[in-house]
Chains A and B, each alone.
Chain A
Amino acid sequence: MIDMSVNIAGLKMKNPVIAASGTFGFGGQFLPFMDLNKLGGISVKGLTLAPRKGNKSPRIAETPGGILNSVGLQNPGVESFIKDEIPWLKGYDTAIIANVAGNTVEDYCKMAEIINSVDEVSAIEVNVSCPNVKEGGVSFGVSACLIEEVTSKMRRLYKKTLIVKLTPNVTSIVETAKAAEAGGADCVSLINTLLGMAVDIHTKRPILANNTGGLSGPCVKPVAVRMVSEVYRNVKIPVIGMGGISSGEDAVEFLLAGASAVMVGTANLVEPDACVKVEEGIERYLEKYGYKSIGDIVGKLELY
């Protein structure tokens, strides 16, 4: 019997597969395609204090092996999430992770306070890495100082698992990961999308109305695996890995590189049952090599 369960700094999940924020809504759209009870967790669509309308269309461009998106954090606001989504979502046996983004340190703190009183939410994922909004998001994420400040202030207000989601659009992701750790984060998750651009050569305009967007999908996986491996070797807190995972094999690469759990994102857009397939694939790998639990393979990558 293989034990698929994981405990990441107090965040207990039945398996290490989490639906990544921004690709899974609040989960409701996936009910016709899968049993949400099979998910380790759901990191819900990025929440802000006030509702956000998001960016103009087009918000998506297909690129080789992936997509660029510029949704711009369209969401109904944290209060609406608590009122309208939690009541039905709590009926499922899966960890609910609140992904939050803000314009100011105060925004982040207010959300930490609000969510701290919501028992059904198991963890906060701090989004300091959205490349598609001007005000906050990534402007925090590229500065180690600001990451440490936001994290330490939220840490005082939030009692459960605090995850900081890192952007790859930095010179050294190890530095920003260390800043999150120093600020008191329980865990870091990486990578958010890579800033990119696609051009329509016929109109001579960018395809995205926002000009730029975040690149995700299988094409980013090697970058993500490299970053997970670097961060794992340089911080003591657990790492949640993501970036282009669409199969069990992909997920195992991340686990071996040092991730304690994984998030599946863009693949959900193409295969609505992708998370379940990833989970089954990981289990098959463990079985094939005679491992008993997820922990047996985390960080087992032997570097040359």
Chain B
Amino acid sequence: MPALLKEEIINVEQIAPGIFKMVIFSPYTAENAKPGQFVNIKCKEGLDAYLRRPISICEINRDEKTITIVFQVKGKGTKFLSEKKTGDIIDMIAPLGWGTFSLEPVENAVIVGGGIGIFPLYELSRSLKSKCSDITVILGFRNKELTVMEKEFESAASRLLIATDDGSYGVRGFTTDILEDILKEGKKDMIYACGPLPMLKKVARIAEKYGVNCEISLEERMGCGIGACLVCACKTKYGDDWEHSHVCYNGPVFNSREVIFDD
């Protein structure tokens, strides 16, 4: 169950240009959140940046009773959020999203993340570590400067592969090319992905081609975050027909076979 919470910020730090990591003391969220879920934050009281901003949970620490979010400053709301300081109180609804990553134990899992889509995959990878014998994580960034959380993912995966668009770090190219190479190497049981829509679309196609079960975390312009306003619609299969599901409520994680990508 989500709750309306006022929680204290434990730490804020900039980890790359425009990318901030924030640790929030939130016993309720830490206790109840699942990998793939998000929080909906009122970044500033009042009318400026009126709507809450949905931000995925990057790490859940039950012992410390904290959660960590990592976000990129993209507009007014995230700018206000980045200006918050240690000790400030944050107004958030959490944890949100009923569609979360499945954590069934499998032999070999592959996690594919692109850009700011990598953040919810960190908690996923941590949670899978004890359940999967092999976890390959493939992360894609625009360039070396924007490459973040490498050490963290290294400790949460069996193998970490990094790609950058310009080749300034790791392999030059796309995460999806690496994914296909890995699937050619040997059988994988599960693919998890989060990132830009073109990447997810390609991951879904590759998963289908190689017959691997695949879960993807979607993003859409959101309103309430709790499934009431129905704005964050995405097309999903419904028998022989299709319907509009909602990213905040039915997702954000969907099985890639359910999702219909418009061309």
Smallest CB separation, B38 vs chain A (Å): 15
- Size of A's binding interface in residues, CB under 8 A: 36
Alpha-carbon distance A62/B2, docked complex (angstroms): 23
Task: Provide the bound-state CA to CA distance between A54 and B242, in Å.
Answer: 12
CB-CB < 8 A to B262: which residues of A? 56
* Contacts of A48-70 to chain B: CB distance below 8 A: 53-62, 64-67, 69
Report if A268 contacts B (CB, 8 A).
yes
Beyond A58-B220, A74-B244, whether A69 also contacts B51 by CB under 8 A is no
Asked, given contacts A67-B51, A74-B233, A270-B52, whether A25 binds B220 with beta carbons under 8 Å apart, the answer is no
Q: How many residues of B contact A (CB 8 A)?
A: 30
**Can you list, as one digit per residue, whether each of A202-243 has a CB less than 8 Å from chain B (1) or not (0)?**
000001000000000111000000000000000000000000
| A59-B221, A272-B93 as given contacts; A45 in contact with B47, CB under 8 Å | no
Pick the contact of B231: A45, A60, A66 (CB < 8 A). A60
Residue on B nearest A24 in the bound complex, by CB: B228
- CB of A221, distance to nearest CB on chain B (Å): 11
Majority SS of interface residues in chain A? loop
Task: Find residues 139-171 in chain B having any chain A CB closer than 8 Å to their own CB.
Answer: none
State whether A57 touches B50 (Cβ < 8 A): no
Interface membership of B234, Cβ < 8 A: yes
Across the interface, do A268 and B50 meet the contact criterion of CB distance under 8 Å? Answer: no
**Neighbouring A residues of B244 by C-beta, 8 Å:** 53-54, 74
Is B115 an interface position by the 8 A CB rule?
no
Interface residue? A23 (CB, 8 A)? yes
Interface contact B233-A270, CB-CB below 8 Å: no
B16 within 8 Å of A (CB atoms): no
**B-facing mask of A7-31, CB < 8 A → 1, else 0?**
0000000000000001111000110
Docked complex Cα distance between A24 and B227 (Å): 9
Q: Are B227 and A270 in contact (CB under 8 A)?
A: no
The answer to whether A23 and B51 have CB atoms under 8 Å apart is: no
Bound-state CA distance A64–B75 (Å) is 13
Does A273 count as interface, using CB distance less than 8 angstroms?
A: yes
In the complex, A304 has a CB within 8 A of chain B: no
Within 8 A of B (CB), among A63-120: 64-67, 69, 71, 74
Produce 1/0 per residue, B229-263, CB < 8 A to A: 11111100000001110000100000000000010
Assembled-state Cα–Cα distance A86/B120 (Å): 37
Choose from A53, A54, A67, A273 the contact partner of B223 (Cβ within 8 Å): A67
In the assembled complex, A32 has its CB within 8 A of some CB on chain B:
yes
How many residue pairs link A and B with beta carbons under 8 A? The number is 99
Complex: chain A residue closest to B247, CB-CB: A57
Question: What's the Cα separation between A23 and B51 when bound, in Å?
Answer: 13
Q: Tell me if A289 counts as interface (CB < 8 A to partner B).
A: no
Q: Name the CB-closest residue of B to A33.
A: B4
Interface hits, A249-304 → B, CB 8 Å = 268-273
Q: State A56–B221 Cα separation when bound (angstroms).
A: 12
Does the CB pair A273–B231 fall under 8 Å? no
Bound complex: CA A69 to CA B47 (Å): 17
If A29-B227, A30-B228, A74-B233 touch, whether A57 touches B221 (CB-CB below 8 Å) is yes
Interface residues of A in 169-219 (CB under 8 A from B): 207, 217-219
Closest residue of chain A to B220, judged by CB? A57
CB distance from B151 to the nearest CB of A (A): 34
Q: Find the A residue at minimum CB distance from B226.
A: A29
CA distance A54 to B231 in the complex (A): 10
Chain A residues with CB under 8 A of B249: 29
Which of B49, B226, B231, B243 is within 8 Å of A53, CB to CB?
B243
B42 on the interface (CB 8 Å rule)? yes
> 27 A-B pairs, CB-CB below 8 angstroms?
A24-B228, A25-B229, A25-B230, A29-B224, A30-B228, A32-B2, A45-B230, A54-B244, A57-B220, A57-B232, A57-B234, A59-B232, A60-B221, A60-B222, A60-B223, A60-B232, A66-B50, A67-B50, A67-B51, A217-B50, A218-B47, A269-B223, A269-B229, A271-B4, A272-B4, A272-B224, A273-B4
Q: A29-B249, A56-B233, A269-B51 are in contact. List 13 more A-B contacts (CB 8 A).
A: A32-B2, A33-B2, A33-B93, A62-B50, A67-B51, A71-B231, A74-B233, A74-B244, A270-B50, A270-B224, A271-B4, A272-B224, A272-B226
Ordered nearest first, which 6 A-B pairs have the shortest CB separation? A60-B231, A59-B231, A269-B224, A25-B228, A58-B221, A65-B47
